[in-house]
Amino acid sequence: MILVTGADGFIGSHLVDLLIRNKLKVRALVNYNSFNNYGWLEDKKYLKNNFLEIISGDIRDQNFCNNLTKGINKIFHLAALIAIPHSYISTESYIDTNIKGTYNICNAAMLSKVKKFYHISTSEVYGSAQYTPIDESHPFQPQSPYSATKISADAMALSFYYSYNFPITVLRLFNTYGPRQSARAIIPTIITQLLKNSKGISLGNTKTIRDFNYVNDQCKIMYDLSCKRDLYGQTINIGSGVGVSIEVLLNKIFEISKKKKKIIKSKERLRPSKSEVTELICDNSKLKTIINNPRFISLDKGLNKTFNWFKQYENIRKYKYNKYNT
Ligand SMILES: NC(=O)c1ccc[n+]([C@@H]2O[C@H](COP(=O)([O-])OP(=O)(O)OC[C@H]3O[C@@H](n4cnc5c(N)ncnc54)[C@H](O)[C@@H]3O)[C@@H](O)[C@H]2O)c1
C-alpha cells in the first residue's frame, strides 16, 4: 500500500488520482479538522473508492504517524504548510509542520520498515538563481521562513539515509500549477481575478521568472521515479527548464481567456525585497538521465486546461481571498 501525505491538497490529490487510476492501493492522509472535511478528496468518487483509504490526522503527532505508516511500502510525503506570505507571520507553525512533521513521518516510516520514501521538496530552497538553470548542486538560500523550513525538512529526510541507510529520495519540484491550486498561487490569482467582478488584477512583482509545470506531468514524473531503483540518498530536480516572467504569463492568460483587465500594483502582495526570489529555472539534466523523455506539456496547453477548469462555476465558487493571497 502507498501512503500519500498532503493528499487533501493540490498536488497530493492529483497524485492520488494517478495512483488509483492505476489500481494501486492508497492510504491518503488528510489534515484533521473539526468539520471532517477531506479537502480536494471531499467527493463521492473518493469516499466510495475501493482502492482508497482516507485517514485524517496530523503529521505533528509522532504516535499518530507511527500508526499511519503501518503496512505501507511506499510513501510520498507532500504534507506541508506552503504559503510564503503566511510563513512570515506564523513561522512556528511552519517549523512544527514542515520540520518536525517530516521528522515524525520519516521516523515512523523507518519503524514500519517502509521500502521507499519520497520527500517532496521545492525550488524555493535555492532562492534567487546564482546561476541558471539551477541544478541540484546550487547553494541553498533561505529567503523566506517557508524556504528555511523546507531546507531543514530536506536535510532531516536525507539524514535518515546517511544515519540509518533508510531508502529516502528527495524530489524537488519547480513551480507547479493546474486545477485545484490554492488561490494564493500566481496562476489561480490571475485567473480568479479575471473571472470575478474585480476592476483590475491586483499583483505583486511581475518581473520575476518561474519554471511553470502542469500538475499531471509532475505527478507522473514523481510516480515514474518511484518505480526506479537505486535513487536512495539522492535529490532530483523536476521542472521543464523553461522560464517565463509573470508579465509574459499574464499576457498568455489574457489571450486564452479573451479578457483583459488593468494591473493594480499591490504593496500587500510584494515580498520584502531581499525575500523576493527573482528567478527559478530548472536544470533537469539529472532527471533526463533517469527518465527517458519526461513529459512537460507546453505552458499554453496547461494554462488552457487550467483556465477551463476555473471557469466552471462550481470551481470558481470555492475560491475566496484574504490579503495573503499572493
Ligand atoms: N505548489 C507548488 O508549486 C509546489 C512547488 C514545489 C514544491 N511543492 C511542495 O509540494 C507539496 C504539496 O504542495 P501543494 O501545492 O499541493 O500544497 P497544498 O497546501 O495544497 O497541500 C499541502 C497539504 O498538506 C496538508 N497539511 C498541512 N499541515 C498538515 C499537518 N500538520 N498534518 C497533515 N497534513 C497537513 C494540508 O492539509 C494540505 O492539503 C508541499 O510539500 C510543497 O512544499 C509545491
Amino acid making up residue 38: Y
Residue 306 CA to ligand 1 centre (angstroms): 19
Distance CA 235, CA 318 (A): 35
Amino acid making up residue 274: K
**How distant, in Å, are the alpha carbons of 3, 97, 129 from that of 43?**
19, 26, 40
- Measured from the CB, is residue 306 less than 6 Å from ligand 1? no
Question: Containing H/E element for 4?
Answer: strand 2-5
* pLDDT, the chain, mean: 94
- Measured from the CB, is residue 218 less than 6 Å from ligand 1? no
- Burial track 193-232 (b if 16+ CB lie within 10 A, e otherwise): bbbeeeeebbbbbeebbbbbbbbbbbbbbbbebbeeeebe
Residue 6 CA to ligand 1 centre (angstroms): 5
Higher pLDDT, 272 or 268: 272
pLDDT digits (tens, 9 = 90+) for 168-192: 999 999 999 999 999 889 999 999 9
pLDDT digits (tens, 9 = 90+) for 75-104: 999 999 999 999 999 999 999 999 999 999
Beta-sheet pairing, 26-31 with 52-57 = parallel
From the number of C-beta atoms within 10 Å of its C-beta (0-12, 13-18, 19+), residue 8 rates as: buried
- The pLDDT assigned to 320 comes to 64
Best mutation site among 3, 11, 63 for ligand 1, i.e. most ligand atoms within 8 A of its Cβ?
11
- The pLDDT assigned to 174 comes to 98
Beta-sheet pairing, 176-177 with 213-214 = parallel
Does residue 233 lie within any of the structural domains? yes
pLDDT classification of 317: cutoffs 50, 70, 90: low
The lowest-confidence range among 66-75, 282-291, 310-319 is 310-319
Does residue 309 lie within any of the structural domains? no
CATH number reported for the structural domain that contains residue 75 in this entry: 3.40.50.720
**Domain range holding 53?**
2-177+214-238
Strand order in the sheet with 168-173: 52-57, 26-31, 2-5, 74-77, 116-122, 168-173, 235-238
Average pLDDT, stretch 109-128?
Answer: 98
Does residue 133 lie within any of the structural domains? yes
pLDDT digits (tens, 9 = 90+) for 242-269: 999 999 999 999 999 998 999 998 888 8
pLDDT digits (tens, 9 = 90+) for 203-240: 989 999 999 999 999 999 999 999 998 899 999 999 99
Number of domains in the chain: 1
Yes or no: say if 148 and 80 are a contact pair by the CB < 8 Å rule.
no
- Measured from the CB, is residue 120 less than 6 Å from ligand 1? yes
Does residue 169 lie within any of the structural domains? yes
Does residue 288 lie within any of the structural domains? no
- Measured from the CB, is residue 246 less than 6 Å from ligand 1? no
Q: Which atom of ligand 1 is nearest to the CA of 8?
A: 39
Best mutation site among 78, 123, 124 for ligand 1, i.e. most ligand atoms within 8 A of its Cβ?
78
Average pLDDT, stretch 259-283?
Answer: 91
Question: Containing H/E element for 55?
Answer: strand 52-57
Residue 145 CA to ligand 1 centre (angstroms): 15
Average pLDDT, stretch 298-322?
Answer: 83
Average pLDDT, stretch 137-155?
Answer: 98
- The pLDDT assigned to 323 comes to 52
Question: Reduced to 3 DSSP states, what percent helix, strand and coil does the chain have, rounded to the nearest 5?
Answer: 45, 15, 40
pLDDT digits (tens, 9 = 90+) for 32-60: 999 999 999 999 999 999 999 999 999 99
DSSP secondary structure letters along 59-101: TT-HHHHHHHTTT-SEEEE------HHHHHH-HHHHIIIIIIH
- The pLDDT assigned to 267 comes to 81
- Measured from the CB, is residue 97 less than 6 Å from ligand 1? yes
- Measured from the CB, is residue 171 less than 6 Å from ligand 1? no
Does residue 232 lie within any of the structural domains? yes
Amino acid making up residue 47: L
Does residue 9 lie within any of the structural domains? yes
Q: What values do phi and psi take at 101, rounded to 5? A: -60, -40
- The pLDDT assigned to 326 comes to 39
Does residue 135 lie within any of the structural domains? yes
